[in-house]
Amino acid sequence: MTAIATAQSCANIAFVKYWGRRDDALRLPLNASISMNLDAATTTTTVAFDPALAADEVTIHGAEDGGGAARRVSEHLDRVRALAGIATRARVASRNSFPMGAGIASSASAFAALTAAACAAAGVELDERALSILARQGSGSACRSIPTGFVEWHAADTSAGSYAESIAPPGHWDLRDLIAIVQTAHKTVGSSKGNALVSTSPFAAARLAEAERALPAIRRAILARDFAAFGEETEQEAIRMHAVAMTSRPSLLYWSPETVRLMHAIRAWRDEGLPAYFTIDAGANVHVLCEGAHAGAIGARLRAEPGVGDVIANRPGPGTRLLDGHLF
Ligand code: DP6
């Protein structure tokens, strides 16, 4: 058994969103979702099981976390310990290449990398599907960061049926996600909480039906590299997710004034003939989707917009992989 291992995972951006669960404990989603791994937004995580430790030690970005994040990491390590048949505590260090908790799926890359590193360190050998199922229980969207490229997460009533798999490799389509950072502070209501409030929205059932209709259309558009069809459906789906969030009780409003300003700007650019669409996760930052040919022009326009602090330019990214070097 190797006692130490390191894994790296990309965050992912969902085109059909995971928003609402049929089972909270197992994190089984209401609807299937589709995403793309983001090659410039990664989490690297080292896990070492050490018999000398009395408790798990979790360091995120150099700072020790004794709070909520560390508890969630420990609970996930318990799942791996149960599979390995060990009780040994672990030292965990994790580093992101992007700001945490700002609407980039930091829990997705974090729990995908944690799953792969912890399994490797504990000597638990799982195939991609089993890793995806395990990552899902840590954070739903994390299951989509295990496979490569463009990914679909199946909805099912059983844990074994709800895993993610690749529908196309990164090289299939030169789609870009330019993330316009308008907020780097931790959002006030995390997606775990938002996911749990879905049933309180009067629009939940309508949005679910629309997500189920949109999914095959978005899958087809990705496979056919049909940017206009892809963008139209993806933008509408994001707005539907936020309509549910806004009409939940309590109401969740993730958009800042800069978010709305960018939504208008992107639509105006489109009217001028510059093909770009937006999607937004549970935060204020705007993910601007375009093809490689227009990424330079759109990136320059985004950087010139007031309120945009940084732009993280992503291409389709790889799946979770083990690295040779460790963080400690
Ligand atoms: C808006 O995966 O963060 O990003 O399962 O509670 O950890 P938990 O939720 P999480 O939710 C992600 C929500 C989303 C949409 C998506 O990525 O599909």
Tell me the pLDDT band of 99, cut-offs 50, 70 and 90: low
User: According to DSSP H, which parts of the chain are helical?
Assistant: 68-84, 106-122, 128-138, 191-196, 204-224, 227-246, 257-271, 292-304
Break the chain down into helix, strand, coil percent, rounded to 5.
40, 25, 35
Out of 71, 152, 177, 195, give the residue to mutate to test ligand 1, the one with the largest number of ligand atoms within 8 Å of its CB. Answer: 195
**Per-residue pLDDT tens over the stretch 245-278:** 999 999 999 999 999 999 999 999 999 999 999 9
Spell out the domains of the chain, with CATH numbers in brackets. 3-170 (3.30.230.10), 172-314 (3.30.70.890)
* Cross-strand pairs, 289: 177, 277
Which residue(s) pair with 304 in the sheet?
A: none
pLDDT for the residue numbered 105: 57
pLDDT digits 0-9 by tens, 281-303: 998 999 999 999 999 999 999 99
Q: Is the CB of 192 under 6 A from ligand 1?
A: yes
How far away, in angstroms, is 140 Cα from ligand 1 center?
6
Contacts of 216 (CB under 8 A, 6+ apart): none
Condensed to tens digits (0 to 9), the pLDDT of residues 161-219 reads 999 999 999 999 999 999 999 977 765 677 888 888 999 999 999 999 999 999 999 99
β-pair partners for 7 = 45, 322
Give the position, in ligand 1's atom list, of the atom nearest the Cα of 16. Answer: 18
CA nearest ligand 1 atom 11, residue: 191
For the CA of 142, the nearest atom of ligand 1: 2
Flag whether the pTM goes above 0.75. yes
